[in-house]
Structure 1
Amino acid sequence: MFQLGKTIVSEDIINKDFVCNLAACKGECCVAGEAGAPVEQDEVKILRDIYPRVKPFLRPEGIQAIAEQGTHIETEFGDLETPLVNGAECAYVTFTDAGVASCGIEDAYNAGEVDFRKPVSCHLYPVRVQKYSEFEAVNYHSWPICDDACTLGKELQVPVYKFTKDALVRKFGEDWYHELEEVVGKMEKDAQ
């Protein structure tokens, strides 16, 4: 672990390799699990505002879940998340003809209907950010359904921090990412 500003960063985001392999996993991260995707407080209003333009991209099941639960939910612990369809997949999930999970929000973004790509937690994956009172912990989340992504990342020699560069810059800014690259450079130099 090392500190960058008000973040504590796991060295796993540097040392582990990762490149999503949708052909192998079929987007299972949007389907599996017991909770929706984490949503940040500032994303709540965005989800409400963009929903009318995202709705045409969603499945009927997702539309119904959002009609019943809202564009986001608050858990008993006060966490904000995307709603689920019958306790299973994210309400915003869509599926291609080949059965690969996609994101209706990102589909609307790619079609130019909205300027919000998707919740930053989804964009960051496999990086997970945990907020504490004085800092944020930036960790790599290992999940067996992503084993193929780890294999592909290793083959292509793409560490997690490079795979998630756009999302890390979105979350923490260009300066933070530049400092991260400096830490990586120093670590590589020290290892020689």
Structure 2
Amino acid sequence: MTTAGVLLAAGAGTRFAAPEHKLLSVLDGRTVVSRSLEALLEADFDAVAIVTGAVEVSAAVSDLTDSSQDAVTLLHNERWDSGIASSLLCATDWAAGSGHDAIVVGLGDQPFVPTSAWNAVASSAAPIAVATYDGLRGNPVRLSREVWPLLERGGDEGARTLIRRLPELVLPVACEGRPDDIDTVEDLRRWN
């Protein structure tokens, strides 16, 4: 069984009122998205992809070592502005075409999710596994191939609708770290 790690980084980040996109903003000397991607790359995945859209993040990938750059597949979501569901479908289409049995999906604007959280969620055998932090659900989320056809085809909820609709398939996985995201300039200032 093969599992791929996927970072969703396609949104416009409209709540981040600054000249640069939130993913390319600097957090403690590095871009937000490169911090998120580094934790994903250090996890035990058979492949890693990042779904892009509104902003070009390849420069953030080039911040990583040469060997890590080769390990990342860039997937451009042409329909990024239709919501996160289209990015998730982009990821599952790629994973299906690459022969993966499951994907573990996280968000590019969550730089405090550690490698240990990615690995903990990936190690689950449940059809849907959801990271929890102090009992609250967050990212990343593991989705096995069997649930991919059940995902929403549009909208801005990703896997949340599926998780609510089929709770019997969901396994919470306690994780270390923080699921805080960088959505606003104030969020960035709080962590810098």
TM range (shorter): under 0.3
Instruction: Flag the structure with larger Rg.
Output: 1
The structure that is strand-richer by fraction is: 2
TM-score (norm 1): 0.26
TM norm structure 2: 0.26
